[in-house]
């Protein structure tokens, strides 16, 4: 079959990115629901610097948000990579440069996000 999941998902992007996207999807669903229920449901209308600090002080929310940050940055950039590969950036040289750029952006984003969160920790 020309349009099986085999050709659409697995072979073009690689098996590890495919698996990584599934694993991070599960992590993101769990942690983003905690994140959304806290910020958009329980504490809606109370958003402030101090309110965020109070929420993160327990530690559990901080761990939740860091797991979410790491998983969602991977999931977002890997998803973007899938879209761009579908558009046809398939020459091996361009692909390799693109992968390196995505890894750099991802690592920098995670470091930046944790750095930003640490104002409430220290």
Partner 1 sequence: MSAKERETANVGAGLWKGIGMWAWVLFRISGLVLVLYLFVHLWVISQGRVGGPESLDDLFEFFDKPLLVFLDLMLVAAVLYHALNGVRIVLMDLGIGIKHHKAVFWVCMLVAALALSAFALKASSFILG
* Contacts to partner 1 by CB under 8 A: 3, 5, 22, 25-26, 28-29, 32, 36, 40-41, 44-45, 47-50, 52, 72-73, 76-77, 79-80, 83, 109, 112-113, 115-120
**Phi/psi at 45 (5° precision):** 85, -5
CA 59 to chain CA mean position, Å: 20
CB 94 → partner 1: shortest distance, Å? Answer: 20
CA distance 102 to 31: 23
CB 104 → partner 1: shortest distance, Å? Answer: 14
Residue 16 or 49 having the CB closest to partner 1: 49
Residue 41 or 93 having the CB closest to partner 1: 41
Question: Which tokens go with 52?
Answer: 């965020």
CA distance 21 to 78: 7
């Amino acid at each position: 079959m020309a349009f099986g999941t085999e050709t659409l998902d697995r072979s073009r992007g690689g098996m590890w990115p495919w698996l990584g996207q599934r694993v991070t999807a599960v992590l993101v669903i769990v942690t983003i629901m905690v994140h959304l229920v806290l910020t958009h449901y329980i504490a809606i209308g109370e958003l402030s610097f101090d309110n965020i600090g109070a929420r993160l002080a327990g530690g559990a929310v901080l761990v939740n948000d860091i797991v979410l940050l790491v998983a969602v940055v991977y999931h977002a950039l890997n998803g973007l990579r899938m879209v761009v590969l579908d558009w046809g950036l398939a020459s091996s040289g361009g692909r390799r440069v693109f992968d390196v750029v995505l890894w750099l952006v991802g690592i920098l984003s995670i470091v930046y996000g944790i750095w930003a969160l640490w104002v409430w920790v220290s």
